[in-house]
Amino acid sequence: MTTQTPAIRISDMDKYFGTFHVLRKINLEVARGERIVICGPSGSGKSTLIRCINRLEEYEGGSINVLGTELDDNIDNIDAIRRETGMVFQHFNLFPHMTILDNCTLAPMLVRKQSRAEAEEVAMQYLTRVKIPEQADKYPGQLSGGQQQRVAIARALCMKPEIMLFDEPTSALDPEMISEVLDVMVGLANDGMTMICVTHEMGFARQVADRVIFMSDGEIVEQAPPTEFFETPKHARTQAFLGQIL
């Protein structure tokens, strides 16, 4: 994985669910260190797009290249890409029967072959970074939604990924917990992490995004830096969407 290549290059990518054409000729290049926000109506294909990037979904046409590696059927390539792409979901997806610490050490021990001591040390660093080291021995069900989402971010970071993918990380949270999660994401952005965030938190988009992408009906309809995107949206569908959420 060389440093000259973009973080992600998606070329003419098509995806179907059965006969339903969910993603249509997607072209997207993400530079290393770039922060992308994706927004758009429910059902427009945002989750499916980012799930394709780490092969949680397969795609049918075109190509995806991540950090110089082709995302094809080669399992070694898929594994290599998954190691470098951390994913945070709307519903946290922590392992409920494992402690917070074990949630964070499992993949580094299994995949990165770290010793338990090494993995625990890294996990405690990231749990400290998301401001919940004192919760390490608890179980997910004992934590608030905001705390669980911060654990999910820490868990992803423990794999030392090059790229972080966020799928509406705050939309299942009570309003008072949204900022504690966004603060962690802003910190990551400021550290230069390559990020793709599906979110409707437009304050976050204005603050950290290099580019905002609007999707509708399986297509990238419009993309622009945040100021331009919010002040002068060009496409009627973008204008209608922004009119509803702002």
List of residues contacting ligand ADP (CB under 6 A): 17, 22, 40, 42-48
What's the closest the beta carbon of residue 42 comes to ligand ADP, in angstroms? 4
246/235 Cα distance (integer angstroms): 16
Q: Which does 42 bind (CB under 5 to 8 A by kind): Mg ion, ligand ADP, none?
A: ligand ADP
Q: Which is nearer to ligand ADP, 26 or 163 (CB)?
A: 26
Q: Which is nearer to Mg ion, 58 or 72 (CB)?
A: 58
Q: Which is nearer to ligand ADP, 71 or 123 (CB)?
A: 71
Q: Which is nearer to ligand ADP, 20 or 113 (CB)?
A: 20
Q: Which does 54 bind (CB under 5 to 8 A by kind): ligand ADP, Mg ion, none?
A: none
User: DSSP secondary structure string, 159-199?
Assistant: T--SEEEEESTTTTS-HHHHHHHHHHHHHHHHTT-EEEEE-
44 is a contact residue toward Mg ion (CB under 5 A)? no
What's the closest the beta carbon of residue 201 comes to Mg ion, in angstroms? 14
Nearest one of 213, 209, 210, 237 to 223, comparing CA atoms = 213
90/17 Cα distance (integer angstroms): 21
Q: Among the candidate windows 45-53, 56-64, 150-158, 220-228, which touches Mg ion by CB under 5 A?
A: 45-53
37/197 Cα distance (integer angstroms): 5
What's the closest the beta carbon of residue 166 comes to ligand ADP, in angstroms? 12
Q: Which is nearer to ligand ADP, 57 or 118 (CB)?
A: 57
Residue from 47, 65, 114, 148 binding Mg ion (CB under 5 A): 47
User: DSSP secondary structure string, 20-81?
Assistant: EEEEEEEEEEE-TT-EEEEE--TTSSHHHHHHHHTTSS---EEEEEETTEE-SS-HHHHHHH
Decide: 237 and 214 in contact? Cβ < 8 Å.
yes
Residues lying near Mg ion in the complex (CB under 5 A): 47
